[in-house]
Amino acid sequence: MNIVIIGCGVVGAAIAYELSQVKGLKITVCDRQAPAQASTGAALGVLMGAISQKIKGKAWQMRQTSIQRYETLIPELEALTGRKIPFNRQGILMLLSDSSLSLEAISAWEKLVKIRHTQGWHLEIWDTAKLQNICPQINNEKITGAVYSPQDRQLDPTALTLALVEAAQHNGVTFKFGVAVLDAQISPPESSLQFCEQLETTEGKIAADWFVIAAGLGSTSLTTKLNQLIDIRPVLGQALQLRVGYPLGNPDFQPAITGNDVHIVPVGGGDYWVGATVEFPSNGDESSPLRIFPPLKELANPEGEIPPNEELLESIREQAIAFCPELATATILRTWSGLRPRPEGRPAPVIGKLPGFSNVLLATGHYRNGVLLAPATAYAIREMIIS
């Protein structure tokens, strides 16, 4: 059976590796760029599973599946490729401020702790004394406690994606980079469903039994070629790498810290990633009625669609400094940005058959959770193909 995956961010690479373990499949992955160049390369890799507010249904199941799979996937990939994948096993610490420590909010966290316990996961609520004792670098009078999730993780998304590609290659997957899809050949429907026979690419025609669209923002133009528009819009995220030169607080306890949607991620050597902004095309917020999206025809090549807002990035840095005052003296080593793929008018992600087609699968539009949900997405696509 021939399978073509379009897109080699973390999701496409995870699908390729998952399918490479099934005997009898011939897998080809195409991407117009090198791997991990788009939203994957801009992600911070903070895997918020147990600490998320999702408690049931598909949203929780996918998180749980992924967090569990990462525990075996990382050592598996490292053994297969000889690559080191930075994987922080020290958990995630979520800071709570005045507003989030109302009686109502605290009871919601206590409820979540109980629910997670019944699901086999562990969460702890810390008061200020415990927080100060364990993480003395947190110094802000508005911080009135924290929730600690020891089983959640953080990893380097680019290192992960490159290891997935190498491991999949090792298992016989063919990768074609610098290849763009130009058109699709669709057979007349014998039933109510159409069948995509082949794709026309800049490297010639590629036929397959299954096509998997995992192209993030590129999915819009790809599905348009199949006359079934899946509307994915760009949301910009910016981040920065700061160098303090030494570990903040206890050098033996360096969890990812998050508060007010700002992440402070230790990456070794006294360096920290800080991010990320959430910037819509109109520079409005998600609920703003003034959000103006560019016309769909302009989204076929969405790179550079949203100019990064320097003031927003600076406000993220200032928020991180407010949590950890020692970051004020840190040197900015680099800043970067990427566009996240957000489905318009429907929940993220979009996983399943392309409407009207029997052999085109979608694994796209993960918005801010591509790295978190990649293993569960890969598993879901595998089940659709082999069941």
Find the domain containing 350 and state its range: 1-88+152-231+345-387
To the nearest whole number, what is the mean pLDDT of the chain?
92
Q: How far is Cα 298 from Cα 321, in angstroms, rounded to an integer?
A: 38
DSSP 161-224: HHHHHHHHHHTT-EEEES--EEEEEEEPPSSSSBEEEEEEETTEEEE-SEEEE--GGGHHHHHH
Number of domains forming the structure of the chain:
1
Q: Indicate whether 200 belongs to any domain.
A: yes
- Split at pLDDT 50, 70, 90, the class of 228 is very high
Q: Which of 48-52, 181-185, 283-287 has the lowest mean pLDDT?
A: 283-287
Of all residues in the chain, the percent with pLDDT exceeding 90 is: 86
Q: Which amino acid is at 383?
A: E
241 is a domain residue: no
Q: Is 313 contained in some domain?
A: no
Residue 282 lies in a domain: no
Q: What is the pLDDT of residues 54-97, one digit of tens each?
A: 999 999 999 999 999 999 999 999 999 999 999 999 999 999 98
Residue 115 domain flag: no
Beta bridge partners of 239: 275, 336
Does the structure show a pLDDT above 60 at 121?
A: yes
Token couple for 386: 């082999």
Write the CA distances from 140 to 132, 150, 242, 320, integer angstroms: 10, 23, 20, 11
Name the residue with higher pLDDT: 302 or 336.
336
pTM listed for this prediction? 0.94
pLDDT tens readout for residues 242-298: 999 999 999 999 999 999 999 999 999 999 999 999 999 864 444 433 333 344 434
Contact 238, 75 (CB under 8 A): no
pLDDT at 265: 98
Residue 301: predicted pLDDT: 39
Q: What is the mean pLDDT of residues 13-37?
A: 96
Nearest to 276 by CA among 233, 304, 235: 235
Select the more confidently predicted residue: 41 or 286.
41
Per-residue pLDDT, 86? 98
Q: Say which residue, 298 or 135, is predicted with more confidence.
A: 135
Flag whether 196 is in a domain.
yes
Q: Among residues 186, 218, 183, 214, which one has the least CA distance to residue 201?
A: 183
Residue 211 lies in a domain: yes
Q: Judge whether 145 lies within some domain.
A: no
Ramachandran category for residue 36: left, alpha or beta (phi over 0 → left; psi -120 to 50 → alpha): left
For tokens 């979540």, the residue is 112
Using one digit for the tens of pLDDT, what is the confidence trace for 337-380?
Answer: 999 999 999 999 999 999 999 999 999 999 999 999 999 999 99
CA distance 88 to 256: 8
Residue for token digits 């004020």? 328
Rg, Å, the chain Cα set = 21
Question: Looking at residue 2, which CATH number applies to its domain?
Answer: 3.50.50.60
